[in-house]
Structure 1
Amino acid sequence: MTATNPALTALAHGWCALSLLHDRIESHLERRLQAAYGLSVREYSLLDVLSRQHDGEGGHLQMKQVADAVVLSQSATTRLVSRLEDRGLLSRYLCPTDRRGIYTDVTDAGLELLEAARPVNEAALGEALARAARDPRLRPLVRAVEAVRAPVVTAA
């Protein structure tokens, strides 16, 4: 019989709890967004990230930056962009200063869908966190998530 390092065991349990929390939240969001708007969590996230772009310096994201923001590979992100473009929610165009670069913008229809879906996403996130907070294994992680999303107040 081998001895197990308690610190590593605690770390593994923490990782399992974090994974469980993520899975529960994501599946709840997925069900709600699909039922209400026919959007997956990844589609919603992509629309949300791209909607925050602007025309100023550094305002448009390259595909690698988009992929990093939605936590997908570049190829998976490109396929996702293509699906949303086929639905009329995104458009692509060549970067005016670098013909090798392709930018992606959210169309008016995409912005309308995103704005309609945003309250459902926020409510579903709140519901999932509240449900997870009732599980003693997940409660500390829920508190950490809530602390991160709380507005930062600075002293003047």
Structure 2
Amino acid sequence: MSAMDAVPTGLAQGWCALSLLHNRIEAHVERALQAGHDLSVREYSLLNVLSRQHSGDDGHLRMSQVADAVVLSQSATTRLVSRLEDRGLLARYLCPTDRRGIYTDVTEAGLALLAEARPTNEAAVREALDQAARDPELAPLVTAVKSLSTAPRPAPVPADHR
């Protein structure tokens, strides 16, 4: 038996199952968001992340933080921001206190599209999880994911304690 024929065990098998579950969910959500709202999963994620910003101290995210949140490189995130800006869903402007910084905000049109797409996203995630729950290898992961939605959220850490 060669290394290529070896069956993954332990952590490797768990990682493969997690990766499979992620890919199935993402593909299902992608199809639903594209069909219903002309949005990709990444575009939806970006709008969602940026919609949670606020104008107070530390209210705006740096591009590196946005890139981490949507799991893209900074250059890919910048291109994604540009595409959504071209569609009128995002707007960029100079930081009022640091002229080197550029903020990105969701426009009213972007907020409206996000609000319209949220139920589609939720339904698609739920459908994908329900389908995956029928697979014995994925069922424990589905249970874990579903338990996260009911778990209490930790309190935010004040900025001066980070």
TM-score computed with the length of structure 1 as normaliser: 0.92
Long gaps (5+) in structure 2: 155-162
Q: How many residues get paired? A: 151
Q: Which residue of 1 aligns with 2:111?
A: 111
1:15 to 2:45 alignment: no
Per-residue deviation, 1:147: 1.3
Q: Which residue of 1 aligns with 2:56?
A: 56
TM-score computed with the length of structure 2 as normaliser: 0.88
Distance 1:123 1:151 in 2: 20
Per-residue deviation, 1:149: 1.7
The secondary structure found in structure 1 opposite 2:103 is strand
Which digits, 9 at most, give the CA deviation of each residue in 1:51-95, with x for residues without a partner? 000011111001000001101100000000000000000000011
The structure 1 segments of at least 4 consecutive aligned residues displaced by more than 3 Å after TM superposition are: none
Which digits, 9 at most, give the CA deviation of each residue in 1:92-123, with x for residues without a partner? 00111111111100000000000000000000
1:90 to 2:106 alignment: no
* Amino acid of the structure 1 residue aligned with 2:110: G
Q: Which residue of 1 aligns with 2:159?
A: none
**Alignment RMSD:** 1.9
Per-residue deviation, 1:151: 4.0
* Amino acid of the structure 1 residue aligned with 2:138: L
Q: Which residue of 2 aligns with 1:134?
A: 134
Per-residue deviation, 1:9: 2.3
Long gaps (5+) in structure 1: none
Percent sequence identity over matched residues?
A: 74
Distance 2:75 2:93 in 1: 18
